[in-house]
Each structure stands twice: as C-alpha cells, then as structure tokens.
Amino acid sequence: MRNSDITRSLPPAVQKVSSNMRLYGMIGFWIQLVLGIISAVILVIASFSLLAGQQTNQGSSFGVFAAIGGLVGLTMSIFLFFRYMKMSKKLRLPDASLRPKKADTIRIIEFGLICNLVGMFLSIMGAEAFLGLVVGKSLALSNRVIGSDSSEFVNSTDLLIIFANTHTILAHFTGISTALLLLKSISK
C-alpha cells in the first residue's frame, strides 16, 4: 500500500492531530533552535568577557547561571519538539496499537510546557539580574565624578547577556505558544 492510501484509511481526528503535530513541531523546533543558537553564541561571547576579567560585579554570576539554566530548558524543549515531529509519523501507522496514546502525547506536551516555563523563568531572572546591574551602574555614575574603574560603567557584556536572555525568552514563548496550540488540537 502507498503512504497516501494508509493516510486516507486513518480516522480524520488522527490525521488532523498528526498533521498538526508535524506542523507545530516543525515550527517550534526551528524557531527555538535558531533563537537558541543565537542566544548561546551571545552568552558564550559574554561569558568569555566575564572570565577575562572585564567585569566582576555581584549578581553577574547569578545572571549567567540563570541564563545558562534558561538555555538548558530550551535545549530540552527543542528535543521535545523534534520528538513531536517523530510522534506525528507514528500517528500515521496503520496499526492503531502502535500509535502513541492520547494520554501519553498530552503528557509529553505538558512536560515540554513545563520545560519552557522553567526555562523562561530562569531567563527572566538572568535578564533581571543584569538589568539591575545596569540600572545600578547608571544611577551610581550620575551622582559622582567618573572614576577610572571600568567596572563602574555599563558595558557591552552586560547588554549582551540581557540580549541573550531576551532571545531565550522569545524562544520559550514560541515553545509555549505552539505547545498550547498542539494541546488544543489534540483535545478537540
């Protein structure tokens, strides 16, 4: 039998869920992957600047740690979106006993939502930590004569880490949005 014949013999609900999982899985996978790579590259560059001693502020360690945690959550989400695409192929199997169960599919999507929510929370915490540093530096400099210590200035490393965190937050938002669309399509 040809693949199109097998697909036509599937129940319409299974066909719709399979095509939605493939579409949303692909959208979520690629958007999160691209934004995650951009965030990771920016974070690596900024981390090398921190390690080189350009900046030693309280809170910067926590900010970097939170940003890395956000990227770990994003990596897990990217893997799960890849898995959604694989599950869409399994849903097209002619033997119903080999297809993933609805409850298992929902549980995996919910786990992906949790990964995105935790990752987004960590990314927000990392961005907030560095925003606090930037605001603190700006307020401290406006009230006194500028010294020679470069850590007193708002520098590109601070802004790069904030930038990396905002990309990661956007990637998590994409994951949450597409996972919610998937849950909606499955529960119909």
**Model confidence over 104-148: pLDDT tens digits?**
989 999 999 999 999 999 999 988 888 888 888 777 776 665 555
**Model confidence over 24-39: pLDDT tens digits?**
999 999 999 999 999 9
Spans of all domains in the chain = 12-142+153-186
**Model confidence over 59-99: pLDDT tens digits?**
677 888 899 999 999 999 999 999 999 999 998 888 888 88
pLDDT at 3: 53
pLDDT at 84: 93
pTM of the model: 0.82
Instruction: Look at phi and psi of residue 53 and say left if phi exceeds 0, alpha if psi is from -120 to 50, else beta.
Output: left
